Structure 1
Amino acid sequence: MVEAGAATAREGAAVRRRHIVYVQGYDPRGLAQYYRMFRTELRKYAALNGVAASAGRPVVDDAKAMASWTIETAGDGWQTTTRYDFLRWEELIKRDLERPMARTVAVATTCFLRLVFNGVIARFARAHWRFAIFASYPYIMLTLEAALALLAGWLGFAGLAHVGAPRPLAVLGAAALFVAVLALLLERLEKTTYVLYLMADWIFTFEFARGRRPDWDARIDQFARAIVDAVAASDADEFVVVGHSSGSFLGLEVLARAFEIDPALGRRGPRLAFLTLGGNLPIVGFHRQAKPFRARLARLATEPSLTWIDFQSRKDVMNFYPFDPVAGHGLSLDAPRCNPKIVGVRFRDVIAPEHYAAFRRDFFRVHFQFVMANERKAAYDYFDMMCGPGPIAAAASAQPAQLVRWI
């Protein structure tokens, strides 16, 4: 963690008021579970660093599809008040997850095959081979479960044939058994494998990249307008948009559309920053049809009033590491590049040594460490960036020199 005095000395006056806009990824858990996690992790942050910290109850605004709470933190010689806005997508995600199982499997498999034949999966592999494996994981699991179901179907066919059933009846019985066993495996193993959830996620990104999600576009436009209004009315020292996981490309869309509404957004009022944590911009940007997204990425890359820091970790198979969002997308910029600053995160420095072996084997746990409290003081500390007195820009300069780079 960056000590308060050091961060202040590097970047100027301590932050007394901060406004955070948190953009979650494609996660149906939503507000209730995120708030509980935030409050639990805030207590861990306070205990580790010997500071006082408290979070107020969330205030829900259904009309704006967001909830907000206030965090008060104080240490030796400093006090910071943070407003934390949580943008809500969960009802859109739950609607996707309510699709019939057969439709999810059929549509997701079609999407994956198109990504293979269009060369997108190959581009994933060139950018980060471990992400390509992760992208293929639900289909590998589906193949294994289908193989078990096929074995059950074959045994059923053999059993029916053995008792003298007509061949057409045996074939129909085997097919019915195959479908039933596959559905049972998918349903019963979902809490362990997450196959159906990940397939729904891939359907969403496939459709979003091609501009086929008007419901999400409408929500993004609504949030963009809310950010413009909030920045104009803010008395904060800095205004920070945070995108975790697929919230990285959703946050980019929200912020870039806010700049389309108000091109001078970051040139008055609070300092404006954008953090992408464990991001996966290529899952949208690598689609040929995602030209509007790439144009917005280029817009933020050349915006001098914005501080964009992209945090990546080699241990996280769900983000791209090492990856330069500008060069990696082959963007040609029409102005000098300002963003993003790419920062590597060593989770070995964050997690206690006795917990690290188990930690690194839990891929979802690793992915969410970006937005959880540290077990050890380290250069990367999410809650210090959200609630501490140091300006966000200090987060990049605080990292070990060998991990801060333009790639």
Structure 2
Amino acid sequence: MTSETHRDVARRRVFYIPGYDPIHPRRYRELYRKESNAQAAISDYEVTMAPKPGGKTFGWTAEGRIDGKRTKARIDVLVWSDIVRRSMGKSIPATYRQLVQTSWVYIGTGALWRLMRLRKGPVIAALYPVGMLIAQALMALLVAVLAARALGWGLTGGFEAITGWLDARYPVPAGTPPVDYTVYAVARTVLMWALGGLVCWRMLTWFKHQDGRFFAYYLMHDYAFSARWMGANPPELEKRMSDFRATIARALQDPVDEVLVVGHSSGAHLAVSVLADLIRAGEVPEDGPELAFLSLGQVVPMVSFLPRAGRLRADLHYLSQRTELTWVDVTAPGDGCAFALCDPVAVSGVAPETGKRWPLVLSAAFTQTLSPARWKELRWRFFRLHFQYLCAFDRPGDYDYFRITAGPRTLARRFEARAPSKSRIDLPASKYTSMCHDADPPETALSA
């Protein structure tokens, strides 16, 4: 971080790293357009958008007229949705195998119980797909059994009616051996359970096609993505993170005043490692733009508490001491999908004994920054609330995503006088605290 922490920002580069999301990044552009207009109307400022110049990344430009100052920002989405989509391309049986493997990882390592001591909300969110998928399977089995038995009753009744009619019309002579109905019984059983199996499969397929309403498969793939590698990053993700680092390093050579990296949800822990690698490599120029990191709705403990997350833990430890950047972590207790107000460095058990500077842990305080009517509308929409950090607040406080990304003040200046939240959780809770800078070898990953 440069010494000019009080200069106004005329030009800014913003890099947004999304969470585990298979959707095309244009979703974030349209969200920014809609919500910046809403926030500008509430807060009496102006934000206009335009297409960004050509390049390898997807993004847009935003021009803010805020506090009497004009700021131009180029916002790029660092995309890994293709990796997410490939990890989600699992059959129904493979997803249920993931359920067993992922549950075993979090329960067997003891991570689940330690995570629950921090915040029950995100742990319940993690257990939700397990419970929902099991409920779907049990419901499909129940309907399958009922369908099979109904068919069996129908076949039995029909057979008895036919044999009764035949016996009445063609009486069996005395002394004739009884008819062996074994073949009928076998055929009846096969037909019954063939129908039951078909009904069960069709129901499970229907549930999967309706996952846009249930989110069970989506969340299962999300948690399985980290659990499969026990907290390490798969090789293709490490390669993509290296590309992210190179992109940010080039931006730090541009004639701008601030380079801001925003990591949302699981994108936050990717950003931690990307920025740690960037600083280790000496790619932050002393006389360049200010480097800032804003982590939003982070779920770092879901990964850092796993046994092979040594790379992430080392990066958390390293980044927490650096003077080259400003790191602000914003969460909200109303967000049941995030580890709200949990200091990701401290709870992971890797805070340095001395010299810890970051992150500054702050609350978005949804119950205060959203009006009672708006809070009532959103309170039980858990996934929508997880994206509230990127949206407009009708009672905005110090946290305003659009002032941060398109306003004239740097992240350091905006929060320089802020003390960390009094409700923050900073007690070490992870069983695993080993640190390894290099990415762990992938050979011991669970089967897909």
Give me the TM-score of the superposition, normalised by structure 2. Answer: 0.81
Identity of aligned residues (%): 29
Partner of 1:246: 266
Partner of 1:105: 96
CA 1:306 to 1:405, structure 2 compared with 1: closer, same or farther past 3 Å? farther
Give 3-state SS (helix, strand or coil) of 1:81's partner.
strand
Selected match of 2:243 from 188, 198, 222: 222
Partner of 1:67: 58
CA 1:25 to 1:59, structure 2 compared with 1: closer, same or farther past 3 Å? farther
Q: Distance in 2 between matches of 1:401 and 1:112?
A: 34
Partner of 2:128: 137
Give 3-state SS (helix, strand or coil) of 2:352's partner.
coil
Deviation at 1:340, TM superposition (A): 0.8
Alpha carbons 2:342, 2:425 under 8 Å: kept: no
Q: In the alignment, does 2:38 pair up with 1:44?
A: yes
Which stretch of structure 1 is more off in the superposition, 357-366 or 97-106? 97-106
Q: Distance in 2 between matches of 1:402 and 1:201?
A: 29
RMSD over aligned CA atoms reads: 2.4
Q: Distance in 2 between matches of 1:126 and 1:47?
A: 41
Partner of 2:202: 180
CA 1:401 to 1:120, structure 2 compared with 1: closer, same or farther past 3 Å? closer
Which stretch of structure 1 is more off in the superposition, 337-346 or 45-54? 45-54
Partner of 2:112: 121
Alpha carbons 2:232, 2:310 under 8 Å: kept: no
Partner of 2:360: 341
Alpha carbons 1:59, 1:67 under 8 Å: kept: no
Q: How many residues align?
A: 392
Which stretch of structure 1 is more off in the superposition, 36-45 or 157-166? 157-166
CA 1:209 to 1:223, structure 2 compared with 1: closer, same or farther past 3 Å? farther
Partner of 2:83: 92
Q: Distance in 2 between matches of 1:83 and 1:209?
A: 36
Q: Whose Rg is larger?
A: 2
Q: Which runs of 5+ in 1 are unaligned?
A: 1-10
Q: Distance in 2 between matches of 1:127 and 1:406?
A: 8
Selected match of 1:362 from 378, 381, 400: 381
Alpha carbons 1:348, 1:356 under 8 Å: kept: yes
Q: Distance in 2 between matches of 1:168 and 1:398?
A: 75
Deviation at 1:316, TM superposition (A): 0.5
Deviation at 1:390, TM superposition (A): 2.0
Q: Which runs of 5+ in 2 are unaligned?
A: 157-184, 427-448
Partner of 1:207: 228
Deviation at 1:143, TM superposition (A): 1.6
Which stretch of structure 1 is more off in the superposition, 343-352 or 313-322? 343-352
Alpha carbons 2:279, 2:324 under 8 Å: kept: no
Q: In the alignment, does 2:273 pair up with 1:258?
A: no
- 1:201 partner amino acid: D
Q: Distance in 1 between matches of 2:232 and 2:7?
A: 43
Alpha carbons 2:341, 2:424 under 8 Å: kept: no
Residues 267-312 of structure 1 show CA distances to partners (whole Å, capped at 9, x for unaligned) of 4311211110000101211111111111011110111222111111
CA 1:153 to 1:131, structure 2 compared with 1: closer, same or farther past 3 Å? same
Partner of 2:434: none
Deviation at 1:320, TM superposition (A): 0.4
Alpha carbons 2:260, 2:294 under 8 Å: kept: yes
Q: Distance in 2 between matches of 1:323 and 1:51?
A: 33
Which stretch of structure 1 is more off in the superposition, 11-20 or 361-370? 11-20
Residues 89-108 of structure 1 show CA distances to partners (whole Å, capped at 9, x for unaligned) of 12222222333233233224
Q: Within 5 Å, which residues of 2 pair with 1:283-294?
A: 283-294=302-313
Partner of 2:429: none
Q: In the alignment, does 2:49 pair up with 1:55?
A: yes
Q: Distance in 2 between matches of 1:278 and 1:53?
A: 24
Q: Distance in 2 between matches of 1:184 and 1:111?
A: 23
CA 1:401 to 1:279, structure 2 compared with 1: closer, same or farther past 3 Å? closer
Q: Distance in 1 between matches of 2:94 and 2:422?
A: 44
Q: Distance in 2 between matches of 1:184 and 1:142?
A: 12
- 2:270 partner amino acid: L
- Which of the pair is proportionally richer in helix? 1
Q: Within 5 Å, which residues of 2 pair with 1:375-394?
A: 375-394=394-413
